[in-house]
Structure 1
Amino acid sequence: MATFKKVIVDIIEPKILEQQLKTFVLLDMILVPKEEEWLRSYTKIPSLPYYLYDTGSGDYLSIRFFEEGVIIKGFDHKNELSVFTLEDQNSTFVKSMYHDVPEHLLSSFTQEELLETTFCIWYDKTTNCWYQNEHPTNDGGKNWLLSNLIHTAELWLEWAEAYYEFELDKATVTELFNGLPASESRIAKLVPDANYQAILKEISDLV
């Protein structure tokens, strides 16, 4: 059986990542009504810095922020590293992905959630580095799933206009990416017939 090797991973800075995730969640709330939230790609657990990117097809990223670090747990359900495709359902094999991951980063997940993993990346604030126990021949779906943690407003717009099938106001999207608040006027520029009060309430409930 192939051996996982601990490596340093070069990805986005945690503060930038969290700000972008907040923006993705905010934009999904504006563009997809609450009653259709199952169509949203990005969600956040209220009052906690836990984020989820869900493809809607059984694949997802769970991103959780802590004082001591960050953990990104990915699951590509068709990947050969999935416990659902491993012939012997070998949980020991899956746990090897978590070798050296600090316990405080894993403790918020259930055992079932930990098994449902095809790759795991974590950030250690003591070293300021991202790490991964990397499989030698299979990335566990890492490259395509992490590509959804988009780095710019322009790239997000390109994805969103293809996904939602309508044009969005670039200036407003850029303002939200820059951390400006989701005011009624900005919401109206993106969705003219939006229920502003419902959106603003949902946003405030996340804090």
Structure 2
Amino acid sequence: MKIWDMPKLPAPEQLEKQMRILAALDLMMCEEEWLRVHRYDSAWSDDETMGSLNNGSGDVVFVVFAPEGAIIKGFDHESPYSPHAQEEYGTWPGIYDEVPEALLHRIQDVAFTHEDVTFCIWWENGNSAWHSSEYEQPDGWEDGANFLLGYLCDSPEGYQEWAQGYFEEELDLAAVSAVFEGAEITKELIASLNPERDAEEALEELEALGLLALS
């Protein structure tokens, strides 16, 4: 087992808040759920919440927040670590070997496609860092972590820049900043971000996903 430090990630509590903010922004910017990159479900199970990234090109990240800590499973479909890139289909040897069983169990739901993994990291409660298993990593091989976790914009300016490219819309930085700062999400705030969005519908969906209160 080794400490994970590339790329840098905040502790689970801050990471979950960050994913909630990004999911709320995507929801307000985009009516179609399947076109959103950032997603979050506050009631994934009785004792879990779940955030995810899906870039629509076959690359996904799932983050499960549970009583034992948090676990991240990422899949870059072009990575040589992909099970689809092996001569015999299978998870790259060692990726899951040192994951604590209580956390590994959290990503074995069929929705997570357990075998499709190119990197896996975790943070157990009581620890002070993210960890990953020790396994063979050939020189020059990319597991997709830098690429995929780069979608986790950690500032209003970062999200504004990314979203203007993705949604092809000019975003109001003050409105984006208000969401990052935990302001109450209102019809007026939604209109500032996306005047074409049905604000009532967006508010209903935000409430259903547990995203109305972000502070």
Asked whether the equivalents of residues 8 and 129 of structure 1 are also in contact (C-alpha less than 8 Å), the reply is yes
1:175 lines up with 2:186 in the alignment? no
2:169 aligns with 166
Amino acid at match of 1:105: L
1:46 Cα deviation from its structure 2 partner: 5.2
Farther-moved stretch of structure 1 (44-53 vs 113-122): 44-53
How many angstroms apart in 1 are the aligned matches of 2:64 and 2:81? Answer: 22
1:9 lines up with 2:4 in the alignment? yes
Q: Return 5+ residue gaps in structure 1 as ranges.
A: 1-5
2:213 aligns with none
Secondary structure class of the residue paired with 1:84:
helix
Amino acid at match of 1:103: E
Secondary structure class of the residue paired with 2:95:
helix
Distance verdict in 2 for CA 1:29–1:90, change over 3 Å: closer
1:148 Cα deviation from its structure 2 partner: 1.1
Q: 2:26 aligns with which of 28, 32, 48?
A: 28
1:37-186 superposed matches below 5 A: 37-45=33-41, 47-48=43-44, 49-91=49-91, 93-94=92-93, 96-110=94-108, 113-133=113-133, 135-136=136-137, 137=139, 138-186=141-189
Secondary structure class of the residue paired with 1:149:
coil
Percent identity at matched positions? 34
Judging by fraction of residues, say which structure has more helix. Answer: 1
Secondary structure class of the residue paired with 1:65:
strand
How many angstroms apart in 2 are the aligned matches of 1:59 and 1:70? Answer: 20
1:110 Cα deviation from its structure 2 partner: 3.0
How many angstroms apart in 1 are the aligned matches of 2:131 and 2:142? Answer: 14
How many angstroms apart in 2 are the aligned matches of 1:181 and 1:99? Answer: 43
How many angstroms apart in 2 are the aligned matches of 1:156 and 1:162? Answer: 10
1:57 Cα deviation from its structure 2 partner: 0.7
1:111 Cα deviation from its structure 2 partner: 7.1
Secondary structure class of the residue paired with 1:43:
strand
Q: Return 5+ residue gaps in structure 2 as ranges.
A: 211-215
How many angstroms apart in 2 are the aligned matches of 1:168 and 1:66? Answer: 34
1:169 Cα deviation from its structure 2 partner: 0.9
TM-score by length of 2: 0.86
1:3 aligns with none
Asked whether the equivalents of residues 119 and 139 of structure 1 are also in contact (C-alpha less than 8 Å), the reply is no
Distance verdict in 2 for CA 1:139–1:69, change over 3 Å: farther
How many angstroms apart in 1 are the aligned matches of 2:109 and 2:200? Answer: 39
